[in-house]
Amino acid sequence: MTLLFLALPFVGALVLFLLGKKARFAQVFNLVLQLAWLALMFFVHGQSREIAGNGGFPLVYSWKWLPQLKSSLSLGIDGLNLPLLWLTVILSLCLGLYAYGKDKLDGSYLGLFSVLNGATVGSLLAADALAFYIFWEFMLIPMYFLIGKWGSKNRVYAALKFFAMTMGGSLLMLLAIVALAFRPDVSDLGWHSLTQLALPWDGQWNSWQGLLFVGFFAAFAVKIPVWPLHTWLPDAHTEAPTGGSVILAGVLLKLGVYGLLRWCLPIVPQASMAAAPLMFALGVAGILLGSFAAWQQTDIKRLIAYSSVAHLGFMVLGVFSGNVEAMQGAVFQNIAHGLSTGAMFLIFGMIYDRTHSRELDAYGGFAKDHAWIATLFLVAVFASVGMPGLPGFVGEFLVLVGTFAVAPWTAVLASLGVLLGAVYMLTLVRKMMFGPTSSLVASHPVRLGWNEWAAILPLIALMLYLGFGAQTLLGLSETDLRELAVKLR
Amino acid sequence: MNSFLDESVFTLNSGEWRALAPYLYLSAGLALATIAAGYRWSRAALRVLATIVLVPFMLALVWDLRVPPQFVFGTSLEVNALTRIAGALVSALALLSAFFTKSTEERDHPEWLLLLLTSVLGMSLLPGTRDWVSFFVALETLSIPAFILVALDTNREKSLQAGLKYLLMGAFASAILLMGIALFYGFSGSLDFEKTREMLSGPSPVGRALAVTAFLLVSVSLAFKVALAPFHMWAADVYQGSPTGVAAFLGTATKVSVFAGLMVMLQLTGAYALPEVVKVLMALSMISVVVGNLVALAQTKIRRMLAYSGVANAGYAGLAMAAGPESMTSVLVALGLYGAALICVLAWTESMISSSGRASHEDVAVSELGELLAPRSAWMVGSFALAIFSIAGLPPLPGFLGKYLLLQDIWRAGHVASAAVLVLGSLLGLAYYLRLFMPLFQAGTSAKSGTRASFGATFAGVLSTILLFAALLGFSRMTQWVEYVEGFAR
Amino acid sequence: MDLPLEPLLRWIILLPVIGAILNGVFLRSKNGILSGLLGTAAAVGAFIVTLVVIGRVPDSHGTVLALDPWFTWMKTGDLEVAFQLEVTPLTRVMLLVVTGIGSLIHLYATGYMSHDKSPWRFFAYLNLFLAAMLSLILSSNLVGVFLGWEGVGLCSYLLIGFWFEKDENAAAGMKAFVTNRVGDLGFVLALMVIFAYTRTFEMSKLVEIAQAGQIPAWVWLTAAAGIFWASTGKSAQIPLYVWLPDAMAGPTPVSALIHAATMVTSGVFLITRVWPIFAGQPAVLDVVLWGGLATAWIAALTALTQRDIKKVLAYSTVSQLGFMFVALGCGSPAAALFHVVTHACFKALLFLGAGSVIHGMHEKQDLFEMGGLRHHMKWTHLTFLAGVLAIIGFPLTSGFFSKDMIIAKAMIRGAVPGMLLIGAALVTSFYMVRAYTLAFWGEARSKEAAHAHESSPIMLAPLVVLAVLSIFVGWFETPEVFHGPTKFSNWVLQSWYGVSPAGHEGHLSHAMEWILMGVVSALSLGVAWYSFTKYRVFRHGGSKATALHRVSENKFYVDEIYAFLILRPLKFATGKVTKFVDVYVINGFLHALRDGARISGQVLSLFHTGSVQVYGWYLAVGTVLVLLFVRWWAV
């Protein structure tokens, strides 16, 4: 069942490529594909309900595809990747709905999207280092084309920068995986055998643990992005088409954090904890400098992109503080940020489709005659600002509380991020939504079709539910993170 | 050990006949091609003949790999699993490139098939040679037809120029090879690989420096043949000048056969024991990875860029070769996959050029790629992209598995520096492979319907894409298949 | 002892939420009365449920009168946060105040906002605010309080910027939210410190652990300082009070409900609720005391010269909050709580009265253009007068009792704070009476004032109720001398989960109390009479504005100083830093890599000249190099 769930997007992509220029037909097929995928997701969830919640990383499928390379395509489901699977499926359904009726988004666009979904789900499910690496890299190709072909002005620069930086990082991970494959005590590259490796740790960085950590962390640091490696994010987000930005913010960034929790921390626990102080510094730098940069932006999408840098700084803190609360906070913030930033990009994408301008100063008084769109945008903004009652708060609160126990001053500096978040987000809302109606807004009324409403509402509903219903997610990943915390101590 | 001259060497017993049967079949095919050239058969007829000759030859070779190795002509030639597989791989690549080998004239020179088959014969025998004479003979039968093939398009000045350049450089390299062989004879008193190994395996063999120099001269000459770094200068001009099919054939089949031959020679003569030789090979490969990728970055013409990417890929294989004899499998697999992908790219370029009404040997600039690719169907663009990404070595595509195998063997030998260079090279390579698609992003969707795409090129493109994915799916069985080779190397 | 489970509690919050959803999502009717009544119904519903719950509670119970473990919000590792509601004697009082006065203000707003374009949005936000405030009061753990804390901040942002077409209103809303957020950093710090050392947020457990004392003292110091910093943000104390005067940009009922009665008092409420933490921190209490005094004085001085009636009331609120913090500083949460209740009544009354005046004067708020309104707006005038009497501490009014109690506590604490507080009280009575006389006495100074019309009965009814309240609510807590009821003191003592903090409740001798009461009320009436006579004959543009007058009128240039010292340099510096780091350092490095590769590629490609002779040369040189290479290096 899980294999079918993984294979469906790829098969769907082939058909979508076939449909090619016939946009409307492809969009309808894509909707059917996404619905089928959602149904499959229910089955997968049902099937893994009892095994997901209680720790370990239970394998649901395994095929020895490359015995000489000690690798087999083994898929597993547990509390860490189940929520992210749900997020991917829901976001891609929303984007399918959004794409309906837009002629520019033809068969090849949707096909590439479907391939991207398949690769993302593949790397989430993968319980084998090589399989994970293959899907991890595979995500780059469709994303490159999505940004390159359907992006806006200097999309080519953004696409190449995105590809090169991510590829640079992941090649180091490839070296780490090859090195692992050649240790005598590694029978196969499966997650279980790798995490049972008790690699000695004596504080040296050129020991096995040290180098493996550098290898794994490099790939995830570019993807998250951790502060100094983040400059591809604003370009990629700004130049990507709406669908690209949503899926990039909603899911691709999350894989960096997921990768840390799945592959980096369990395999090289002591090295990760030794690197924690540096990570705290980078995390805090990401939060503060990300927020300050967001405060300066005049391009709306760039502003939201820098806000992602700030939020992900929180997750880096959460992951590396090593206690259950902080890691739960990071995992929850993963979903919350995916929803809130995804919703913001989606809503602004719809506005952008009508007004074709990303300049903040050109907007004004949007809320006057677009009450509903403004309200939904505000819900997303306040979720991202960490307003209690919306999911953003639960994530950030857990991270701050968890990190304080380990590194008080880091947590105090990080809590500044909560304030700065309010500053730049509300500046965006004030300039865009309130004040006198600008000529651009007056001359381009934004009337959403049924499919666009249907695209936003699930995200907003999820956000409203998760604000208080946080326990559904926290319960899922509790045992897995407890085991990880024990290992990290 | 019978000396070279007594006649018993040439009386073949039944085992030897059976071992030689495929090669004799090929020679018969070759003769038939000569007659066909005489009667000036049409291009299509020649391609059918090529299929009739090469397909059975391949099947015969790989029909039963468990057949024990068989020495022929005394000890000068050994037909074992490695020779068979290398021969099959070479003929497959040759067949693929034969489909779109043509010169611009109407009635082009039908003798290209004859030359192709001779070269295939030389290539398939090279890995089987066990002494320097047969090694040299195989190498020359391999390269002399190639010189002429490059100059096939007689009425195009660029093709002739390329052919002459290739000839001169080839002659120069053969001279160095002969010099090396002479030194070997001086050193070990015989031309046999075994003899050199015995002489070398002594505690402090006399004239060790002499042997090392000999090995270096031979490696330099072979490095020229596969266009490893300092000796790769000819590659770009020959690729650009020669007809597309020939460029494909030279770029892929030569590399497979020469690398296989070189590794067998190094293994049998015990060269792996000499650190100097291994270091030189590693150095040459590293330089070619760096130079190949960097210069490719600066290219604007597609075929020239592919030439330098060929140099880089030769470098990757060279790094694995220097890692030791066990990496024979990964070298063969990697070069095979690279070959299939390169042929696919060149086939599609050829079919694009012909469909756009341009002269077939015009080297397309990267910027013009946009209008060429735009009108084509999504399938064709898709398979072109996949082939490019396979050469770049991006995962889920076969190229990545090839590169992963190389990396695995380099790591097994502990050459961390080479692993780093390989990874750096593939990152650098990424830049110019991705640049190929940028014009595609800018190009508007001008559906300019070109003339009918040439059947041969499209057929070759489709076939090679299928071959690529067959390799991907059957990867695990393919590596077992080549395991026989491993058995040999150890 | 069995916990008094009371599932009805959750309806106190749910009713306003349902009201907000009905108004905001489903109804959205342009008809002001309909949406107004729906909103009021929700508020009154909450009030009724409160009465029912309080009615059912047997009096002789411990601290927790009613408990409703609603649902588990966050449970991970050893952090467990339940969304649990409880009623203690302290919260019972606040519940009554918030729901009671809230309902009155909702009723008043129905009339006030009936002509507005989108009344449904106003009442949705107002109900949401009520729900947030109630969850702040009812929650049994600090995270629930923080939820309410930020919730009221959000609603005040939405309500201040209600008429968002004008940029100033939106800017005022944002200023309020950001300033509150600056305060909330303190709250987050407190939460982090508390959890790190006590591993719990439940106030009942916290209070016990604080008393037990095995936690290092600096933890409670940081927690107390953090909570105090948050309270300065929320309850508009120095230095974070700058947002309250600008918050007058919102509709008047908003000012009445949020910026007089409920939200601004949440800071005082929270400190009272976790008083045992503060009791043991004399350092923090001193800061609270002197902070309160400074705020009282600066706000009172600023109010002296304000022209806008709502600005006068805003600064008066800040000043009265200063009084409450002085009470806390003197170690008497009972006095602070009592003043919170009385202030809620009479300040709400004054704000609603001002609203009625503004409504009558067709949205004119300038005192200098009013005058003689007592002829046209009889009921508003009488109720406003009742409010003024209460605030200046006219004997036997509620203000008299609560302010006198605080002054008594201040005198116990020390002569200087006592005297300063009395001074502030006198200034208060001066500016209140000034505002009153400018508005209602003298001749009409503009045509709107001449034709002002009385507000509709739906607006006057709440005024009357509040007037009655602000006169008689004082009897709940009478000084010992009167030997009357001292409800607030024992309510407060009961609500610390059985812990009685060390606090030194000193006593004044009876004689001292009588003198105190007599002197203070006499002085304040004298000042009131002087201000009344001065402003009865007020001529527009009369006396020349002195320097002090101008400074006070421009609110001591506080906003300009903040902008100059903090905002502008911060924005400029961070702009430069981030631009430099992101564009030059990181991107610069990446572009250098890219250009390096490209240039070296071009340089290398120069070697490929294309002439065979050169290639031959390379081949030869290459071979020689290889041989030499081997000779030196490899051997």
- Distance, CA of C237 to CA of C290 (rounded, Å): 11
SS in 3 state form for chain A? CHHHHHHHHHHHHHHHHHHCCCHHHHHHHHHHHHHHHHHHHHHHHHHHHHHHCCCCCCEEEEEEEEHHHCEEEEEECCCCHHHHHHHHHHHHHHHHHHHCCCCCCCHHHHHHHHHHHHHHHHHHHECEHHHHHHHHHHCHHHHHHHHHHHCCCCHHHHHHHHHHHHHHHHHHHHHHHHHHHCCCCCCCCEHHHHHCCCCCCCCCCCCHHHHHHHHHHHHHHHHCCCHHHCCHHHHHHHHCCHHHHHHHHHHHHHHHHHHHHHHHHHHCHHHHHHHHHHHHHHHHHHHHHHHHHHHHCCEHHHHHHHHHHHHHHHHHHHHHHCCHHHHHHHHHHHHHHHHHHHHHHHHHHHHHHHHCCCEHHHCCCCCCCCHHHHHHHHHHHHHHHCCCCCHHHHHHHHHHHHHHHHCHHHHHHHHHHHHHHHHHHHHHHHHHHCCCCCHHHHHCCCCCCHHHHHHHHHHHHHHHHHHHCHHHHHHHHHHHHHHHHHHHC
* B263 residue type, one letter: M
pLDDT reported for residue B489: 45
pLDDT reported for residue B454: 63
Half-sphere CA count of B44, side-chain side, radius 13 A: 3
On whether any CB of chain B is under 8 Å from the CB of C606, the answer is no
Query: For A93-112, what is the mean pLDDT?
Result: 87
pLDDT reported for residue B206: 66
Q: Between C358 and C622, whose confidence is greater?
A: C358
DSSP line for C375-394: TT-HHHHHHHHHHHHHHHT-
Q: B365: which DSSP letter?
A: B
pLDDT reported for residue B490: 41
Q: C567: which DSSP letter?
A: I
* Interface contact C578-A393, CB threshold 8 A: no
pLDDT reported for residue B103: 61
Among A54, A233, A39, A274, CA closest to A147? A233
* Interface contact C615-B298, CB threshold 8 A: no
Q: What percent of chain C has pLDDT over 90?
A: 28
Chain A neighbours, 3+ Cβ pairs < 8 A: B, C
| Ramachandran category for residue A40: left, alpha or beta (phi over 0 → left; psi -120 to 50 → alpha) | alpha
Question: pLDDT band at A153, cuts 50/70/90?
Answer: confident
* Interface contact A289-C161, CB threshold 8 A: no
Whole-Å CA distances, A415 to B115, C188, C566: 76, 7, 19
Q: Out of A390-404, C289-303, C368-382, which region has the weakest mean confidence (pLDDT)?
A: C368-382
pLDDT at B28 over 50: yes
**CB within 8 Å of chain C, chain B residues 406-435:** 428, 431
Given a contact cutoff of 8 angstroms between Cβ atoms, the answer to whether B388 and B345 are in contact is yes
Helices (H), C606-632: 612-629
Taking each helix axis from N to C end, the angle separating B378-392 and B328-355, rounded to the nearest 10 degrees, works out to 150
pLDDT reported for residue B232: 81
On whether any CB of chain C is under 8 Å from the CB of B166, the answer is no
* B150 residue type, one letter: V
On whether any CB of chain A is under 8 Å from the CB of C75, the answer is yes
pLDDT reported for residue B479: 61
Q: φ and ψ at A294, to 5 degrees?
A: -60, -35
Question: pLDDT band at B156, cuts 50/70/90?
Answer: confident
pLDDT at B1 over 50: no
Number of domains forming the structure of chain B: 1
Query: For C241-252, what is the mean pLDDT?
Result: 88
- Distance, CA of C363 to CA of C589 (rounded, Å): 60
Residues in B closer than 8 angstroms to C606, CB to CB, are none
Among B80, B77, B75, CA closest to B62? B80
B172 is a domain residue: yes
Whole-Å CA distances, C37 to C100, C142, C159: 16, 33, 18
Structure tokens at C140: 């049994």
pLDDT reported for residue B474: 67
pLDDT at B458 over 80: no
Given a contact cutoff of 8 angstroms between Cβ atoms, the answer to whether A140 and A148 are in contact is no
Q: Across the interface, which of B172, B276, B296 has its CB nearest the CB of C635?
A: B276
Establish, for the pair of chains A and C, how many residue pairs have beta carbons separated by less than 8 Å: 148
Question: pLDDT band at B21, cuts 50/70/90?
Answer: confident
| Ramachandran category for residue A199: left, alpha or beta (phi over 0 → left; psi -120 to 50 → alpha) | beta
Q: Are strands B77-79 and A59-66 parallel, antiparallel or unpaired?
A: unpaired
Q: Considering Cα of B52, then B97, then B289, then A182, what sign does the dihedral take?
A: negative
Q: How far is A475 from chain C (nearest CA, A)?
A: 8
Residues in C closer than 8 angstroms to B294, CB to CB, are 597, 600-601, 604
Q: Between A336 and B382, whose confidence is greater?
A: A336
Q: How many helices (H) and strands (E) does chain C have?
A: 27, 2
Strand partners, A73: A63
Q: B336: which DSSP letter?
A: H
Q: φ and ψ at C162, to 5 degrees?
A: -65, -50
pLDDT reported for residue B73: 77
Query: For A32-49, what is the mean pLDDT?
Result: 88
Omega of the bond prior to C239 within 30 degrees of 0, cis? yes
Residues in C closer than 8 angstroms to A296, CB to CB, are 571, 574-575, 578-579
Q: How far is C231 from chain A (nearest CA, A)?
A: 16
Query: For A88-97, what is the mean pLDDT?
Result: 93
pLDDT reported for residue A381: 94
pLDDT tens digits, one per residue of B132-142:
888 999 999 99
Q: Which residue of chain C has the CA closest to B288?
A: C604
Neighbours of C541 (CB within 10 A): 7
pLDDT reported for residue B467: 76
Q: What percent of chain B has pLDDT over 70?
A: 86
* Interface contact B297-C598, CB threshold 8 A: yes
Q: Across the interface, which of C604, C615, C629 has its CB nearest the CB of B291?
A: C604
Question: pLDDT band at A52, cuts 50/70/90?
Answer: low
pLDDT tens digits, one per residue of B110-119:
888 888 899 9
- Distance, CA of C487 to CA of C498 (rounded, Å): 17
Query: For C627-633, what is the mean pLDDT?
Result: 74
Question: pLDDT band at B483, cuts 50/70/90?
Answer: low
Query: For A115-141, what is the mean pLDDT?
Result: 92
Q: Across the interface, which of A69, A140, A168 has its CB nearest the CB of B408?
A: A69
Most confident of B270-284, B303-317, C614-628: B303-317
Angle at CA C125, nearest 5°, toward C121 and C131?
145
Q: Which residues, 6 or more positions from C83, have their beta carbon under 8 angstroms from its beta carbon? A: A468, C70, C71, C72, C73, C139, C144
Query: For B386-406, what is the mean pLDDT?
Result: 87
B329 is a domain residue: yes
Mean pLDDT of chain B: 81
Question: pLDDT band at B447, cuts 50/70/90?
Answer: very low
Chain C neighbours, 3+ Cβ pairs < 8 A: A, B
B411 is a domain residue: yes
Whole-Å CA distances, C136 to A387, C324, C495: 14, 19, 16
pLDDT at B476 over 80: no
Query: For B143-171, what is the mean pLDDT?
Result: 84
pLDDT tens digits, one per residue of C387-434:
999 998 888 888 888 888 888 888 888 888 889 999 999 999 999 998
Q: How far is C149 from chain A (nearest CA, A)?
A: 9
Write down how long chain C is: 635
pLDDT reported for residue A22: 80
Taking each helix axis from N to C end, the angle separating B112-125 and B81-98, rounded to the nearest 10 degrees, works out to 160
On whether any CB of chain B is under 8 Å from the CB of A138, the answer is yes
Please report which helix (H) or strand (E) contains residue C87, including its range. strand C79-87
Query: For A169-188, what is the mean pLDDT?
Result: 87
Q: Which residue of chain A has the CA closest to C184?
A: A419
* Interface contact A175-B423, CB threshold 8 A: yes
Query: For A421-438, what is the mean pLDDT?
Result: 91
Q: At B149, is the secondary structure helix, strand, or coil?
A: helix
* Interface contact C600-B220, CB threshold 8 A: no
Strand partners, C79: C76
On whether any CB of chain B is under 8 Å from the CB of C502, the answer is no
B218 is a domain residue: yes
Q: Between C106 and B18, whose confidence is greater?
A: C106
Number of domains forming the structure of chain A: 1
pLDDT at C314 over 80: yes
On whether any CB of chain B is under 8 Å from the CB of A235, the answer is no
Domain membership of residue B213 as a residue range:
12-489
Given a contact cutoff of 8 angstroms between Cβ atoms, the answer to whether C38 and C107 are in contact is no
Residue from C598, C609, C615, C625 whose CB has the most chain B CBs within 10 Å, to mutate: C615
Q: φ and ψ at C118, to 5 degrees?
A: -125, 75
Q: C454: which DSSP letter?
A: P
* Interface contact A17-B401, CB threshold 8 A: no
* C45 residue type, one letter: G
* Interface contact C612-B299, CB threshold 8 A: no
Q: Are strands C79-87 and B77-79 parallel, antiparallel or unpaired?
A: unpaired
pLDDT reported for residue B477: 64
* Interface contact A134-B395, CB threshold 8 A: yes
ipTM over 0.85: yes
pLDDT tens digits, one per residue of C126-163:
999 999 999 999 999 999 999 999 999 999 999 999 99
B2 is a domain residue: no
Residue from B295, B301, B303, B311 whose CB has the most chain C CBs within 10 Å, to mutate: B295
Whole-Å CA distances, B11 to B1, B17, B19, C485: 15, 10, 14, 132
Buried b (16+ CB within 10 A) or exposed e, C478-505: bbebeeeebbbbebbbbbbbebebebee
Neighbours of C137 (CB within 10 A): 28
pLDDT at A257 over 60: yes
Question: pLDDT band at A475, cuts 50/70/90?
Answer: confident
Question: pLDDT band at A384, cuts 50/70/90?
Answer: very high
Q: What percent of chain B has pLDDT over 90?
A: 11
Domain membership of residue A196 as a residue range:
2-488
- Distance, CA of A296 to CA of C570 (rounded, Å): 11
Please report which helix (H) or strand (E) contains residue C72, including its range. strand C66-76
On whether any CB of chain B is under 8 Å from the CB of A145, the answer is yes
Whole-Å CA distances, B225 to B141, B250, B265: 13, 10, 15
Given a contact cutoff of 8 angstroms between Cβ atoms, the answer to whether A80 and A477 are in contact is yes
Among A98, A13, A63, A148, CA closest to A458? A98
Given a contact cutoff of 8 angstroms between Cβ atoms, the answer to whether C64 and C87 are in contact is yes
Q: Across the interface, which of C594, C605, C612 has its CB nearest the CB of B298?
A: C605
Among A148, A88, A90, A145, CA closest to A118? A88
pLDDT at A90 over 90: yes
